[in-house]
Amino acid sequence: MFLGLLVASACSGPASRATTAAPATPTSSTVVRVSPTAAPAGTVRYVAIGASDAVGVGATDPATGSWPARVAKLLPPGSAFVNLGVSGSIALQARTAQLPGAIAQRPTVVSIWLAVNDMNATIEPASYANDLGAIVDALVSGTEAKIFLGNVPDVRPVPAYAEADKEALFRLIQAYNQVIAAIAARHPTRVVAVDLFTGSAPLVSTITVSSDGFHPSDAGYQLIADRFADAMRRSGVPLR
C-alpha cells in the first residue's frame, strides 16, 4: 500500500490517467503452494494481488511479515498460497501482470489491495475504477473464488503525507473508497469489501508505520492481516 511515488501530487486533486509509472516487475512474487489438483477437499487456494504491502516492504522479514503471508499462516493444512504482489503496482499494471497468473491458479480465495499507489500517481477515480473493476470482473467470471477487496485507510496522519493538503487528500480517499464499494456491490455474493477505513487510526499510528514513514511496520501488517482474516472467517473461509 504505502509506496511514496508522488505524495504531494496525489493531494492536488484528480488528474488525467498517469502513463509514466515505472513498469512493475514480477521478481517479488512469492509462491508457496501445492498443485491445485492435488489439494485435498476443503483446503484453500489463496492468491494475493497487490503492491508493496503484499511484498512486505517495511516488515522485519518481508517474506513472512507481509499481511498476505500472515493470513496464509492461518490456512488449513494442505492449502496453497501464491503471492503475486509487485512493489509499485497500480491497478492498471496489476490487471496486466498479476491477473492472468491469479486466474491460472484456480483460486478459491483472492485478496486485492490496490489503491494508494494509484492515488499517489494521480490516477483519476474513473480510470482507477475501470482497471480495478476489470480485475474483479475477470476473477468473478474466470474463477470460483471468494474475493476480498480492501479499501483505503485514512492515511492523513502518515508521516509521508505531512506536507499534503489534508482536505484534498481526504476527498480523494473518499472518492477511491466509493469506487471500491461500488465494485464490491456489483457482485454481492462473490466480493467482500474489507473495511480498512473505519477505525483506521491504529493502522496509521507511529507504532504501525515503519521507519520509512510510509509502509506498515510489523505491527501494522498484523493489524491489516487481522482485518482481512476476520472478513474471510465471516465469509466461511476456514482459517485457523
pLDDT of 175-231, one tens digit each? 999 999 999 999 999 999 999 999 999 999 988 999 999 999 999 999 999 999 999
pLDDT of residue 100 exceeding 70: yes
Q: Find the CATH number of the domain harbouring 149.
A: 3.40.50.1110
Nine cell digits for residue 100: 492472468
Q: What is the mean predicted confidence (pLDDT) over 113-139?
A: 97
Q: What is the mean predicted confidence (pLDDT) over 60-83?
A: 97
Within a domain: residue 237? no
The radius of gyration computed from the CA coordinates of the chain, to the nearest angstrom, equals 16
| Residue 115 CB partners (closer than 8 Å, separation 6+) | 1, 91, 128, 132, 150, 151, 152, 176, 180
Within a domain: residue 236? no
CA–CA gap between residue 50 and residue 36 (Å, rounded):
21
Q: What is the mean predicted confidence (pLDDT) over 145-150?
A: 98
Residues of the domain holding 208: 7-12+27-231
| Residue 223 CB partners (closer than 8 Å, separation 6+) | 202, 203, 208, 216
Count of domains forming the chain: 1
Predicted local confidence at residue 43, as pLDDT? 86
CA–CA gap between residue 194 and residue 229 (Å, rounded):
10
Within a domain: residue 126? yes
Within a domain: residue 58? yes
Within a domain: residue 18? no
Query: What integer best gives the mean pLDDT of the chain?
Result: 87
Distances (CA, A) of 59 to 43, 205, 208, 225: 28, 15, 10, 13
Q: What is the mean predicted confidence (pLDDT) over 33-61?
A: 79
Within a domain: residue 19? no
pLDDT of 84-95, one tens digit each? 999 999 999 999
> Helix, strand or coil for residue 138?
helix
Within a domain: residue 102? yes
Q: What is the mean predicted confidence (pLDDT) over 114-135?
A: 97
Within a domain: residue 238? no
DSSP string, 140-175: HHH---EEEEE-----TTSGGGTTS-HHHHHHHHHH
Quick one: 234 exposed, middle or buried, by C-beta within 10 A (0-12, 13-18, 19+)? exposed
CA 85 to chain centre: 8
Predicted local confidence at residue 8, as pLDDT? 37
Distances (CA, A) of 234 to 32, 192, 231: 25, 10, 5
